[in-house]
A and B are shown apart, each in its own frame.
Chain A
Amino acid sequence: MTSIQDRNDSVIIPNSTKPSSELLPIDLPDSAAQIWLYSGIFWMSVTMLIGVVEAVKLFYPEFLQGIPALAYGRLRPVHINIGLFGFMSMGYLGATFYMVPRLTQTPLFSERLGSLTAWFWNFNLLAGCLGIMMGFSKGKEYTEIPFPFDMTIGILVIAIAGNLFSTITLRQERRVYVSLWYILLAIIPFPIYYTLGNASKFSGIEDAIINWFYSHNLFGIWLTTLGLATLYYIVPKQVNKPLYSHIISFVGFWTLAAFYPWNGGHHVIWGPVPMWVMTASVTASIAMFIPTCATMINFGGTAWGTWEIMKRDIGYRFSLLAYVCYVGASLWGTVLAVMSLNAKLHFTNMTIAHVHLGFLGFGVPGVIAFTYFYLERSLKLKYSRNLAEWHFWLTMLGIFGYVVSMGISGWMEGSAWEAGSSPQGTMLDKYPYHVARAISGLIVLVGQFLFVGNVYKTVNYPIDLPAKSGVTL
């Protein structure tokens, strides 16, 4: 039985009967993966840039004041939507379009469809975000993108899911590796909850419950699952040994699939919703401890004793950073769902710390790890090690600064409110932490520019890796 790390990284060229002149550039193998991935990296930079602007506005509100399109309340939804639908969705779909043909040993069902959906997705997202900035926001968190651009995303996902699903159905390799399970979980229910979240016209509390059902599925069984699928694929290859335990990944996957969709109600703990909605969601959130532990043990076991590789392979270091932050964010989330703690910490910056440990700590390094992996293992190109080294340390420092500053500030806020203070009362106390967050964001952003420059140069002015460089490819 060949394990994942032994499987071939090369692409299966479709045995096309057409003369090659009829093949467009977007029909070439991996072209879809590339467009998705590079777009994801582009949007990652944009969302970080906007994040820094917002972060500055939260302690120096006169910054860029007077331009309605750049007002805080309009930039923040743009930051979120570009972060979720631009950077995370596109980056990880890039990885998905790369993984699926390899895991199935089958050419992608339609490379052209994959590439075209990526371009559509880009323009559609751009239009949607300009719409928000011009004042057409739908006004509900995670559904701000105005009609018709919101519905277009749903339709595009159906096309993407169809493309991937057909490839999986037509597969040559009969065994279904864990990454494919996660991908199936990501692509099958998405159109249902996405449409529900964006097109439904319920009002009041029902609207809130559905809003959170949708949003939590968006983070939990779309972004997180695609992210985990990517890590499950690249980590065994980076360390060149099989996954620690397939039984544990089995347990982790099925408990995640069972509990995550129930989590939505934990956003309104103690809120005006029926008690049983809260109870169900809090229970499911605490049960998320099981899949989190499974992931922790599985990757921990795989990574055990790989110190040498860690020193050598920067991409692998990013995988580990993503892994640690994923486990951290999930445990933190479980803690935030504990009712007594939520009573204190909901509405504070503690939520922001949790969110960014998830997205900035897990999402960002995951896409980066995949990118370095892709450059080195698949394109067989050599990127600048110096820049990558700087990139790693800046990113790590920035994430740390962000999460710690927001975490402390959130705890302080919660304590002050319980002691009888109000949000106006804690405003000045938060000032230094908001400054620290903006600086941390800036550090991440500088690292990101080094990364983009590095990738650009590596791809456009390639230096091939020496055939035998001591690195096992």
Chain B
Amino acid sequence: MRYISVFPIVVILSILFGSAFTGLVIAPGVASDIVRSPSVGLVAYSPTEAKGRKIYAREGCVYCHSQQVRNVKADENLVAAFGVSKAGDYFYDLPHFLGTSRQGPDLSNEGRVWRREIGAPARDYLIGHFINPRQYNPNSIMPAFDYLSTQELSDLTDYIQSLGAWKDSIKVAEASL
């Protein structure tokens, strides 16, 4: 606690903070290609999917559902079924929905489970589940989103069905070559 003047403290603090800023904010954007380019085959969101995405943000789905499969033992089944998530998969996501918690299941490949090709049964399931999750799983702790309008439920369903769906389309394209 001897005499230390404030100015050098401010300068050193700025240098320390500045270096972290450079390392974690500037460098990933400038120096890393994988951060800045979309995955092969990734499709941008359609207008209704984008609307659904906004509802996902507004209702806070991200607090319980991650959208990220990691290459770790705890995710073994997901990796086997769907593969590991890559940086480019998220190219069109603003804001990102990586998530930090799994009170519910990971949703990054939900569009490959309840595929669009299934048609009405898949949509009816997803919408019915939003309205009353406990009709399908009595133990579920997911809130009932029964207050959403029919249009909102439909947009949200479009969004959910888009998640990861493009990965299957590439597989089909590759198989037909």
Contact = CB atoms under 8 A, between A and B. Distances in A.
A65 B144 contact: yes
Interface in A60-101: 61, 65-66, 68, 71-74, 76-77
A71 B20 contact: no
Contacts of B96: 140, 203-205, 207-208, 211
A211 B96 CA distance: 9
A280 B23 CA distance: 9
Interface in A248-263: 254, 257-258, 261-262
B117 interface: no
Interface in A279-316: 280-281
A404 B89 CA distance: 37
Interface string A166-182: 00110000111110110
B162 interface: no
Contacts of B57: 137-140
Chain B interface extent, by class: 35 or more
Interface in A149-184: 168-169, 174-178, 180-181, 184
Contact of A175 (B2, B73, B87, B105): B2
Nearest to A280: B23
Nearest to B141: A61
B105 A207 contact: no
Contact of B85 (A185, A210, A258, A272): A272
Contacts of B121: none
A215 B57 CA distance: 18
Chain A interface extent, by class: 35 or more
A210 B139 CA distance: 37
Nearest to A67: B147
B105 A423 contact: yes
Contact of A138 (B29, B95, B105, B145): B95
Interface string B127-157: 0000001100101111111110000000000
A58 B137 CA distance: 15
Contacts of A102: none
B35 A428 contact: no
B176 interface: no
A202 B103 CA distance: 27
A175 B35 contact: no
A422 B103 contact: no
B105 A422 contact: yes
A209 interface: yes
B58 interface: yes
Given A261-B16, A270-B71, A417-B74, A280 B62 contact: no
Given A176-B4, A189-B17, A351-B101, A74 B95 contact: no
A347 B95 contact: no
Given A139-B62, A203-B93, A210-B25, A424 B143 contact: no
Nearest to B78: A422
Contacts of A14: none
Interface string A115-150: 000000000000000000001111111010000000
Contact of B94 (A203, A267, A417, A424): A203
Given A139-B62, A174-B3, A175-B1, A213 B98 contact: no
Interface string B44-71: 0000000000101111111110101011
Given A139-B57, A210-B25, A424 B105 contact: yes
A438 to B, nearest CB: 12
Contacts of A347: 66, 74, 99-102
B14 interface: yes
Nearest to A349: B101
A25 B133 CA distance: 55
Contact of B60 (A61, A72, A205): A72
Contacts of A428: 139
Interface in A397-428: 414, 417-418, 420, 422-424, 427-428
A192 interface: yes
A257 B13 contact: yes
Contact of A209 (B25, B73, B88, B147): B25
A268 interface: yes
A219 interface: no
A246 B4 CA distance: 13
Contacts of A346: 70, 100
Contacts of B9: 176, 181, 184
Interface in B86-119: 86-106
B6 interface: yes
A57, A143, A427: most-surrounded residue (chain B CB, <10 A): A427
Nearest to B32: A274
Given A178-B1, A274-B28, A347-B99, 15 more contacts: A66-B147, A73-B59, A73-B64, A138-B57, A139-B60, A140-B95, A175-B1, A176-B9, A189-B13, A206-B29, A213-B20, A257-B16, A267-B100, A274-B87, A347-B74
